[in-house]
Amino acid sequence: MKINNLKIFTQNMIPVLLLPIIISGCSEKSDCTFPNRHMHQYKKIISVNDQNNPNDDLVIKRYFNGENLEMSDYQQTNNIIELNKEDESFYNLIVNNELYYGIDNWEYLYHVMKKNHKDHLEFYYYYTTTHVYFTTDSKGHIHSHTRIVTHSGWSKDPKHRGNTGKVAYIHKMYYGYKIEEENGKLTIIESPLCEDIRNIIKTYPYFKEDPTKKQSVEKMFPKNQLSDVTLSDFNNPFGKPNLEDKSLGNKFINKPKIYKK
């Protein structure tokens, strides 16, 4: 499928950006007067909660198929993209799957990596308790009963009740998407997991709001020594992104495209 050149305009019709996005027409809810097929860019403010940079909030920019001033947690901006009907299926697929263009949102993706780069341990617990409950029969007699309730799961507390000695090294990895055309049908392809989003962003240029997946390595330790277990006991099973360098590099600044098999 050919992707045509796309133009984004501000409300005074000045071209400001080239990006592929989804189609929409103005509805009665909008005061928009743009004459051609188009849609609006929306943005969502993400609070970083960084005490060192209290004003350093982030923005996710996405496109929606609609003219409401608000879509979910996103607010409409003055940027308008003019679209050709030929590519409607492609752009609908992006928006319907809640994807956004990664390079256009690199500041946010870098923040996601920075937020998740610290690994941690979790401890598996398992124990049972006996619960007593009461019922009343048709004659008004009260009967007591007992039942065994199982409690299990993962906790960050090495002293959690019922810890079994199983410890997991928890690590976040990242993934994105590309769109392929095969036999005239468009499909979304998920990337392999990676340690640094920059390793995939050129080939897999689209992302979900949460582009992370939790990975783990498990080991058993004596239950009376769990408080002494550290990440180093797992011999560094995963890698790390290079967060000292925030840049994408010029080689990544390319227009996204459909990759055909």
102 close to 232: Cβ distance less than 8 angstroms: no
How far apart CA 19 and CA 101 sit, in angstroms, is: 8
Stretch 187-202: mean pLDDT: 95
pLDDT(59) > 60: yes
Instruction: For residue 13, name the pLDDT band (cuts at 50, 70, 90).
Output: very low
Which of 13-27, 56-70, 89-103 shows the lowest mean pLDDT across its residues?
A: 13-27
Q: Which residue has the higher pLDDT, 26 or 98?
A: 98
Stretch 57-65: mean pLDDT: 82
Q: Which residues are registered as beta bridge partners of 9?
A: 15, 80
Task: Spell out the domain ranges in the chain.
Answer: 1-92, 97-119+166-261, 121-165
How far apart CA 100 and CA 42 sit, in angstroms, is: 11
Per-residue pLDDT reduced to its tens digit, 209-246: 999 999 999 999 999 999 999 999 999 889 988 898 88
pTM given for the model: 0.75
How far apart CA 78 and CA 43 sit, in angstroms, is: 10
Instruction: For residue 4, name the pLDDT band (cuts at 50, 70, 90).
Output: very low
Which of 79-88, 148-157, 166-175 shows the lowest mean pLDDT across its residues?
A: 79-88
Per-residue pLDDT reduced to its tens digit, 15-36: 333 344 444 444 446 577 777 7
Q: Which residues are registered as beta bridge partners of 60?
A: 44
Note the pLDDT of residue 26: 44
Per-residue pLDDT reduced to its tens digit, 245-256: 888 865 444 444
pLDDT(154) > 70: yes
Note the pLDDT of residue 64: 75
How far apart CA 45 and CA 83 sit, in angstroms, is: 26
Q: Among 162, 159, 42, which Cα is nearest to 101's?
A: 42
130, 158, 209, 217, 219 from 162: Cα distances, Å: 15, 10, 35, 20, 17
Q: What 8-state DSSP symbol labels residue 19?
A: -
